[in-house]
Structure 1
Amino acid sequence: MAAAIGSGTQGSGDHWSSRTAFVLASIGSAVGLGNLVRFPAEAGANGGAAFVLFYIFCVVLIGIPLLLSETLIGRHGQAAAPASYRKMAVESGASPKWEWVAGIGVFSSTLVLGFYCVLGGWVLYYIGIFAGDLVATGISGTAFQGMSVEAVEALFPALIGNGPLTVALDVAFLLITLAFVARGVSGGIEKAAVWLMPAFFVLMLGITIYGATGGHFIDAANYLFKFEPEKLTGPVMLAAVGQAFFSLSLGMACMVTYGAYVGRDVNLAKSSGIIAGSDTLVAMVAGLCIFPIVLAAGLAPEGGLGLMFQTLPHAFQDMPFGSLIGLLFFIMVAFAALTSSISLLEVPTAWLIDKFGLRRIAASVIVATAGLVLGVLSALSTGMLSWFHPLDFVPLFADKGVMDVLDIFTSRLTMPITALLTCIFIGWVADRRLVDSESGLGGGAHRVWRFLVRWVCPVALLAILWVGLTS
């Protein structure tokens, strides 16, 4: 294959060593905090099995077609995301300015990296808390001995209000991410995926089995999967569409970049199905992992960051082996967060290497520095800089701190726009023969996929944009 991204430090042809490595890395990019917190809460509160079935329907109709579109652009271009778009556009007789679509995705990845590593730092903090408890109480001990419920729940507000600590944790998580990306595709990113994702699955399975022994597994399953179609309203269905889109790391050029490292022997259509299916399975199992523990403690299974950083620590307080299970849980979360942050850092790093011929170490350090600046502002926006609202004059961002501005700007604006333009590019602009040669589909399956990309996905993405900008 032609020299891929990263040849500045890794040598010609740095790419995934196997289809398994590509799939694991892509699953790692997709699986993140949203799978572990947002999806289970959304499913439980909005129709149970009806929501889940509609979500799966959205993954098939929107997620997989978009995922395949992004990866095939990357594999055809064998370069950073903007250059891959440019190559396919030029070979299709279209304007090379289509590379700006990927440029928006690269920009989005950089912005998301800035605040995502802050969240990863919070996870590191709780790993330290539970590790300390484990040392103090032993394997069979419960967590937070001698602390009231209020004191346990107050740990999180105290953390996010402590500027120096949150900045230090952000730096630590960003440096861990940088350590993998700086080593290249096969030497760093792939090793992280091959080791961390299987470990993630083992930990999730183990904690799920543990939670099932507490007697509340059936209650959790009923909460998550009880069929209540009357709750599946228009806004809830739009939420399911958005979750299907965002949970697969689409619209940030991540899958275009990872696709550039894929060999010609890999069937992208089958791989896209495996990636999307695994991501969906993790989201559903996450509820069966978390909610039995929450319900056993008599707590409400609500969503959001409060579930992970306040409700769950409280739940672990009353459990046998609470310190150990709490530690393993947050290690599992850290693995999911790290594989996602690695892909976020890799996207702009690959672009710098491709655009300016920088060595990988230099490029990754430059991007990490930009992420650090955004991360420091994000970390402080929940505490000492909570008064600072940089875009207060824009209604969408009124009263929002830096972290919220970055989150809203990317999730509601740049990511859906990038995905929408990608659908237009693949469905209407790119040479059909080029697309056909990369898709791995044939016959009726190809015609269905092309119909979805040309018509269904754009309509869904326009709906996501409209709701995001008007809500």
Structure 2
Amino acid sequence: MVAISNGQGGEQGWSSRSAFILAAIGAAVGLGNLWRFPTLAGESGGGAFVIFYIGCVFLLGLPLLLAEIFIGRAGQTDAVGSIRRVAEQSRVSKRWSLFGGLGALAAFLIVSFYSVVAGWVLYYAGVFAADFGSAVLAGDPFRGALAGESQEQIAGRMGNLFADPMLLLSMHFLFMGATLFIVARGVSGGIEKAATWLMPGFFVLLIGITIYGAIVGDVGEAAAFLFTPDWSKLTPEVMNSALGQALFSLSLGVAGIITYGSYIREGTKLGSTAAAIAFADTGVALIAGLMIFPIVFAVGLDPAAGPTLVFQTLPFAFESMPAGSLIGLLFFVLILVAAVTSSISLLEVPTAWGVGELGWSRTTSALVFGAGAFAIGVLCLLGYNVLSDVRPLGFWSIFAETDILDTVDGFTGKIMLPLGALFTSLFIGWRADRRLLETTTGLSRGMFTLWRFLLAWLCPIAVTIILVTGLFPSLLGAE
């Protein structure tokens, strides 16, 4: 198929609908699905959180996802320019485009610390690659991982990593370099190629490791944990976490889907495309739970281990599992692939803004924003060692005890993402031209009415709750 121009100086778009779906799934499927979702599910008691989360995805996440795709498809340029064009066509203030700038800034800040965290994944992939290599040389490729190391030694690897700024810096440099290289090559020559090569491999690895977990792990207990609700555990704090995860998982509020939507071919059915992305993203999160928790339960570890689940709990579990060395390597390769496809969507947002609004070449824009994100990431990683006493927003009670990385993460997640999602829902739900919406989305009358109702009423209320309780956690009874 012939690629199209999206209005950004001849920048090519997706070659097909399937290419866009793969790229958008890659943008949505990242550390949020493979690390954050199992972590939150484990901490929140499983079933009740999972069921409420699924409801949030389809009542809130899907309408917002379609809204962002529509803005990009109707605007055909960067996020700021696309919102401005929709506002012009709707005869409303062009100042609505400011929330596109907010999303671009959020994406820029997120990719800065996201690269640091992905660097941890790269480090562990290297650890397991070396371990598997030694197993092969020893003639025992199907042994358990990290043979001879105690649980304390395995858990201590993460602390040792944090204490080594040069190691953290090198991992961050390699990951950001790969992200920048792909984005600089353009949509068809870089991002689409990465998605069409990496995402099929991602799904093969995901299904393969899940089958492995079902065979050697306790899949029955894992399924009961994930899908049998204990409604007494569905507290306001758990519901708020599920609401936030629905936005985070679908990569909403950071203008990434708007930017990707601007590269869509004319005539693409936006409603079914958005549904396919939402179903795939949610399916990956649920399969990730079925991949991780059978292994955790099989060796008697705590499913509520929190953020250490992937980096400390699972590496110890792989030690006692058959072929644990190989599976550990494949597991971290799986997470690394998801991290790459998400990071390129994040860096693409400010890069497209530089091309569309400032007239820069793609290479220049990618280099400027990639270098800027790398620099902020350096500060974030130094917050674990050299700058461990620095509290950037220490005057603000909710950030008083957070290091640099957690401050940037918290500020973007608690404030910028909800604001971006709130403005999106208000803009499309109340201000965008109805005829333009109907023509571009191609929804049936009934589905269109339901979609706009959810955007006009339910989404703003839910997102406002996320925003307010994030700023004032005492409202949920949290510290």
TM range (shorter): over 0.9
- In the other structure, the counterpart of 1:42 is 40
Pairwise CA distance, 1:443: 1.2
Distance 2:228 2:408 in 1: 35
Name which of structure 1's ranges 137-146 and 39-48 shifts more when overlaid on structure 2. Answer: 39-48
How far apart are residue 161 of structure 1 and its match? Answer: 1.6
The equivalent residue for 1:69 is 67
Match of 2:105 in 1: 107
Runs (5+) with no aligned partner, structure 2: 474-479
Runs of 4 or more off by more than 6 Å in structure 1?
none
The worse-fitting range, judged by mean Cα deviation, of 85-94 and 227-236 is 227-236
Cα deviations by residue, 1:96-119 (Å, 9 ceiling, x for unpaired)? 111111000000000001100001
List aligned pairs for 1:217-228, cutoff 5 A: 217-228=219-230
Partner of 2:476: none
Aligned to 1:189: 191
Whether 1:202 aligns to 2:200 is no
SS at match of 2:216: coil
Change (3 A) 1:21 1:418: same
Correspondence for 1:313: 315
CA offset digits 1:142-171 (Å, max 9, x no partner): 211221111111000110121111011101
Q: 1:304 aligns with which of 301, 306, 326?
A: 306
Cα displacement (A) at 1:271 = 0.7
- Which residue pairs with 1:22 in the alignment? 20
Aligned-residue Cα RMSD (Å) equals 1.4
Counterpart amino acid of residue 257 in structure 1 = T
Which shifted more, 404-413 or 382-391? 382-391
Q: How big is the shift at 1:14?
A: 0.2
Cα displacement (A) at 1:47: 5.2
One-letter amino acid matched to 2:275: G
Distance in 1, matches of 2:194 and 2:4, equals: 24
Alignment of 1:414-453 (within 5 A): 414-453=416-455
Q: Which residue of 2 aligns with 1:254?
A: 256
1:310-389 superposed matches below 5 A: 310-389=312-391
SS in 1 for 2:14: coil
Partners of 2:4 and 2:216 in 1: how far apart? 54
Q: Tell me if 1:33 matches 2:35.
A: no
Aligned-residue offset at 1:26: 0.6
Write the letter of the residue equivalent to 1:452. Answer: L
Provide Cα deviations, 1:165-202, integer angstroms capped at 9, x if missing partner. 10111010000111111110011101111111111111
Q: Which residue of structure 2 lines up, in the alignment, with residue 158 of structure 1?
A: 160
- Which amino acid in the other structure matches residue 199 of structure 2? M
Q: Is the 8 A contact 1:38 1:303 kept in 2?
A: no
Question: Cα offset for 1:234?
Answer: 2.5
Which SS does the other structure have where 1:125 is aligned? helix
Q: In 2, distance between residues paired with 1:121 and 1:42?
A: 22
**CA–CA distance in structure 1, aligned partners of residues 373 and 219 of structure 2:** 40
Whole-angstrom distance in 1 between the partners of 2:396 and 2:149? 43
Greater mean alpha carbon deviation, residues 456-465 or residues 354-363: 354-363
1:392–1:399: 8 Å Cα contact kept in structure 2?
yes
Equivalent of 2:462 in 460, 463, 469: 460
- Measure the CA separation in 1 of the matches of 2:401 and 2:234: 31
What is the aligned counterpart of 1:120 among 109, 118, 121? 118
Q: Deviations over 1:46-83 (max 9, x none)?
A: 45433322222111110010000011001111000000
Give the secondary structure class of the aligned counterpart of 1:64: helix
Distance 1:45 1:103 in 2: 34
Please tell me the residue identity of whatever aligns with 2:187: V
Q: Residues 23-61 of structure 1: CA distance to partner in whole angstroms, max 9, x if unpaired?
A: 111111111112112323433454543332222211111
Mapped partners of 2:445, 2:91: distance in 1: 25
Cα distance in 1 between the residues matched to 2:207 and 2:62: 25
Distance in 2 of aligned mates of 1:364 and 1:454: 35
Q: Paired residue for 1:411?
A: 413
Amino acid at match of 1:349: T
Separation of aligned partners in 2, 1:303 and 1:88: 45
C-alpha deviation, 1:324, in angstroms:
0.5
- Tell me, what secondary structure is at the counterpart of 1:140? coil
The total of aligned residue pairs comes to 467
User: Mean Cα displacement is larger for which, 17-26 or 52-61?
Assistant: 52-61
Deviation at 1:6, TM superposition (A): 5.2
Matched residues in 1 for 2:442 and 2:241: separation? Answer: 30
Q: Deviations over 1:398-427 (max 9, x none)?
A: 122210111011100011111111111111
Paired letter, 2:84: R
One-letter code aligned to 1:124 = L
Corresponding residue number in structure 1 for 2:177: 175
Partner AA of 1:121 in structure 2: G
Q: Measure how far apart 1:240 and its partner are.
A: 1.4
Residue from 70, 91, 109 that aligns with 2:89: 91
5+ residue gaps, structure 1? none
Gap change, CA 1:13 and 1:144, over 3 Å in 2? closer
Residues 47 and 301 from structure 1, CA distance in 2 versus in 1: closer, same or farther, beyond 3 angstroms? closer
CA 1:51 to 1:401, structure 2 compared with 1: closer, same or farther past 3 Å? Answer: closer
Distance 1:126 1:215, change over 3 A: closer
Identity percentage of aligned residues: 49
> Aligned match of 2:216 in 214, 217, 221?
214
Q: 1:215 to 1:123 in 2, by over 3 A?
A: closer
Q: Supply the distance in 2 between the matched residues of 1:260 and 1:333 (Cα, whole angstroms).
A: 27
1:168–1:6 Cα change, 3 Å: farther
Question: Normalized against structure 2, the TM-score is what?
Answer: 0.95
Q: Distance in 2 between matches of 1:267 and 1:106?
A: 26
How many Å separate the matches in 2 of 1:152 and 1:48? 26
> What TM-score results when the alignment is normalised by the length of structure 1?
0.96
Contact 2:62 2:275 in 1 (8 A): yes
Cα offset, 1:440, TM superposition:
2.3
Match of 1:59? 57
Deviation at 1:2, TM superposition (A): 6.8
**Contact 2:217/2:297 (<8 A) preserved:** no
> What secondary structure does 2:268 align onto?
coil
